[in-house]
Structure 1
Amino acid sequence: MIYSHKSPALLIIGILMLLWGWMNNAGTLDGMQGWLHPGAYKEHKQAIDKHAADTQAAAEKAAAEGQPAPEAKPMKPSKFDGTKAGQAQLAYILGGLFAAVGVLVLVLPKKEGHLDYYAGVVPGMAFIVGIACAVRWILDPMFANWGKAAQPTLGWDFAKIMNLNYVVLGIVLGMIIVNLLRIPAWAANGVRTARLFLKTGVVLLGTLYSAAELAQLGALSVVMIGIFVLGSVWLVLLAGPRMGASNSMTGVLSSGVGVCGVSAAVAASPVVNAKAVDIAFTLGTILLWGVLCMFTFPTIGQLLGMGPVQFGAWAGTGILNSAQVAGAALAFDPQGIETLKVAEIFNITRVLFLPIIVVWLAAWYVKREAGAQKVDLGKVLVAKFPVFVLGFLFMFLLSTLGMFAPPGHYQGKYFSSEQVKEDKLLKEKEIAALQAHLPKLTKPEETKALQDLIANRKLTSREQDHVLKGVSKAAKDDKAVKDAVGAANKAAWHDSKIIRAFRDWIAWLFAIGLTGLGMQITVASIKQAGGKPLIIGSVVGIIKAVGSLIVVLLFVKEFV
């Protein structure tokens, strides 16, 4: 069978990628990049102005002393420079590869074999990679800017709350392409490789979690989240087959509803061989309920007279999607940080249950797909268990053992007072601002935490960091105090370079894979799926929200 097509499309994609890289390096796209990344661009311009002022001051000083002007020091690359350089580097690599293969596709004769198969697959892969680049480099920051711009009018960031990031945008753009424009014949074979990118992303996802982090979260959050995560997954797995939903639809919906929403659904999708339409319906259900809960939870919490700890525990447990947890916590208590802190503790706990759910779903799916006849589950698991899930567990184990970052890390970030460099210790001006603020504190734990920070000029424990975040939040009109506490926090928290690289690759793999999956969601497949996911997700979502509310009111008191 011949897979390849004599089309210049791959060569054109490669040339366009190379052009994007060159234009970034040449500065031609600085105006557009500045609009897409306003914060980084503003810092970049300020750094340029400061560098110019320092250079001029040094020259004037030398002239006054009768000395020749010193040689100007080169500027350190800014975050804005790093963004452009990163895009240019990736564009050059991908563009060069696609252009070279594109030439071979046009030159080599069509002949059955492995070479022809790859020549037929690469153009489609390049097609979804190119779309994913447009989503991550242009659409993602563009919607983020629009969300922030509309926040003063709407009162909330619609892009953040509705998850209008590269995940959702990639799927939506893929759906638009397949339903309105159709997939070109030369790209059809490559588009079907989307699952390969997703599976690779799931393997690397294991590096972001560490079992040791559970020890930092407390027994209350672990027990509550364990009950409601496992219970929600079990309910969906129970209800799905009874309502005639497919095994793949049921599996991916259970992960999304039970664990942490969109990211859990994406991670579980290759485990249960979820179809593109399964993922689309699951994400739609999760986002619909997430936004609804974000608006209703704070109102219910106020009516019931819930305190910060109670509401934080409820929001972190009962809201389906992680993105809306923070929104609900801040809507309930916009002035304080206690509610948000508790909500995020519970939210992080349920995210750390993802490895357990992945293994559970893999075993459940293998058993369901084995058919109605009696089977030896052990043999079936050995024969059919997804290999990439073993890769995920292996990376999770390495992460837990501290191979990529200290064992207590969460997604590569870890606290270390010992690693605070000398030049990152608080300066005299910052110490003076904190000393002036000290008499304003009334709580003993806040006073002690601030006194220790002044004495050590750095944070010494995670508990101290948590307390001082509340102090900083309360000192909303004292910029000097907020800046000093923020500087100490930034100095004490470190980011593993290895896991930072993993995070970037995970984002790219999911962006490419989900864009390709979006191109497999047709209007006909949506009609065929019907409203079963929404019904199942809604029922389980209500049970989860009401059940967690009852447990919180009965057992969670207003103290930690």
Structure 2
Amino acid sequence: MHNNIRGILYTFIFAIPAYFLGNLFPIIGGPVFAILLGILAAGFKRPATFEPGIKFTGKKILQYSIILLGFEMNLFNVLKIGSHSFYVMIFTLLTSFVVAWSIGKLLALDRCTTTLIGAGTAICGGSAIAALAPVINAEDKDIAFSISTIFLFNVIAVFLFPFLGHLIGMSDTGFGMWAGTAINDTSSVVAAGYSYSTAAGSYATIVKLTRALMIVPACVFFAVLTTRCNKKSSNFNFYKIFPWFILWFIVASIINTIGIIPESITHLLGSAGKFCIILAMSAIGLNTNLHSLVKNGFRPILLGLCCWFAVAAVSLVVQHVLGLI
């Protein structure tokens, strides 16, 4: 741990301004500012003694941040209120991954970038990418491509979805369901929902929180899949490949749900988790090659567009079939 201190402190230089910028511009969010600042700083030479700490921040602290986020998740409440969205979410989740893998193969994108963009679109944007990245052993460039792509469509969604909702004449609950299942990041869901109406914003937020729970089965599934693909079946060891930080995320969620810790403390822990994500994104940016990002940036964006369009369309179709619109 002693060898990591300098690198961890170095990432704070970029995480702190990114945190405040994220508060000023919540639609963009602190993680995006963090990764951008890190990428810009990556072009400058830094002491080699920083490297272990930067890598530790981008991997381990990223996992710790997901655990801390669990302290703001009320499992029973979200599941109860968001039960109507379950079928819509199942179809949109499957659609996102099928489209991601199909189009990603056509675009000759690597497996990790394809999976992360599919997960970010299907589940909850940057949080899903942060949770899944260590499970599938994604490299920093894969995370950078994915975060950048998800961010682009988050911003577009805030302006486009309310316009289309009014154009179609959607009800508050119908639009809330659509925004909650088809917009990637929580901040963008909230912004788009409340710009449509207060009722739509409240409903969209609940749906989005329910959708975020899909991080857990997705991580377990990809942990097993990744190991099956990379090792012989005789070497399969579930204990070694299981994403234990997701288990602790569930434990943290249960602790918050039953209320054995004061709300002020769980809120503080959740806020610490959000800052740790910003810290980890700074480290990922610092390990990202800007030239490579620009050179290969168009294909991930095209993949993200295909996934986003497919998920938005399927959400509307399933709602129509179920009579929810």
Normalised to the residue count of structure 1, the TM-score between the two structures is 0.53
Which residue does the alignment assign to 1:512?
279
Distance 1:520 1:534 in 2: 21
CA contact (8 A) 1:310 1:556 kept: no
Pick one of 53, 63, 70 that aligns with 1:190. Answer: 53
Answering whether residue 317 of structure 2 is matched by residue 547 of structure 1, we say: no
Structure 1: segments with no counterpart, 5+ residues:
1-117, 145-158, 413-494
Answering whether residue 22 of structure 2 is matched by residue 162 of structure 1, we say: no
Secondary structure of 1:279's counterpart equals helix
Structure 1 residue 310: Cα displacement: 1.5
The structure carrying a bigger helix percent of its residues is 2
Which residue does the alignment assign to 1:128?
11
1:393/1:177 CA distance change after superposition, 3 Å:
same
Distance 2:291 2:70 in 1: 35
1:283-316: CA deviation from partner (whole Å, max 9, x where unpaired): 2211221222222222222222222121121111
Distance 1:131 1:318 in 2: 31
Which residue does the alignment assign to 1:406?
258
1:513/1:200 CA distance change after superposition, 3 Å:
same
1:416-471: CA deviation from partner (whole Å, max 9, x where unpaired): xxxxxxxxxxxxxxxxxxxxxxxxxxxxxxxxxxxxxxxxxxxxxxxxxxxxxxxx
Residue type matched to 1:552 in 2? Q
Which residue does the alignment assign to 2:188?
324
Residue type matched to 1:399 in 2? S
Secondary structure of 1:366's counterpart equals helix
CA contact (8 A) 1:272 1:365 kept: yes
1:211/1:525 CA distance change after superposition, 3 Å:
same
Residue type matched to 1:192 in 2? K
Moved more, 514-523 or 188-197: 188-197
Secondary structure of 1:160's counterpart equals coil
Query: Which protein, 1 or 2, shows the higher relative CO under an 8 Å CA cutoff with sep ≥ 6?
Result: 2
Which residue does the alignment assign to 2:247?
393
Answering whether residue 119 of structure 2 is matched by residue 258 of structure 1, we say: no
1:304/1:135 CA distance change after superposition, 3 Å:
closer
Secondary structure of 1:277's counterpart equals helix
Structure 1 residue 214: Cα displacement: 4.3
Residue type matched to 2:163 in 1? T
Pick one of 179, 203, 220 that aligns with 1:359. Answer: 220
CA contact (8 A) 2:34 2:285 kept: yes
1:214/1:184 CA distance change after superposition, 3 Å:
same
Structure 1 residue 250: Cα displacement: 2.3
Structure 1 residue 237: Cα displacement: 3.9
Residue type matched to 1:169 in 2? F
Secondary structure of 2:135's counterpart equals coil
Which residue does the alignment assign to 2:233?
376
Provide the aligned C-alpha RMSD in A: 2.7
CA contact (8 A) 1:125 1:190 kept: yes
Residue type matched to 1:282 in 2? S
Which residue does the alignment assign to 1:235?
99
Residue type matched to 2:236 in 1? V
CA contact (8 A) 2:195 2:201 kept: no
1:455-508: CA deviation from partner (whole Å, max 9, x where unpaired): xxxxxxxxxxxxxxxxxxxxxxxxxxxxxxxxxxxxxxxx62442242133134
Distance 1:190 1:139 in 2: 24
Answering whether residue 159 of structure 2 is matched by residue 295 of structure 1, we say: yes
Residue type matched to 2:229 in 1? R
* Count, aligned residues: 324
CA contact (8 A) 1:132 1:511 kept: yes
Larger Cα-atom Rg: 1
Distance 1:119 1:354 in 2: 32
Which residue does the alignment assign to 1:202?
66
Pick one of 342, 346, 351 that aligns with 2:207. Answer: 346
Normalised to the residue count of structure 2, the TM-score between the two structures is 0.87
Secondary structure of 2:288's counterpart equals coil
Which residue does the alignment assign to 1:25?
none
1:317/1:128 CA distance change after superposition, 3 Å:
same
1:210/1:353 CA distance change after superposition, 3 Å:
farther
Residue type matched to 1:390 in 2? W
CA contact (8 A) 1:281 1:533 kept: yes
Distance 1:340 1:120 in 2: 46
Structure 1 residue 256: Cα displacement: 0.7
CA contact (8 A) 2:179 2:192 kept: yes
CA contact (8 A) 1:206 1:392 kept: no
CA contact (8 A) 2:67 2:252 kept: no
Structure 1 residue 404: Cα displacement: 4.2
Which residue does the alignment assign to 1:13?
none
CA contact (8 A) 1:247 1:272 kept: no
Q: Percent same amino acid among aligned pairs?
A: 23
Distance 1:283 1:516 in 2: 13
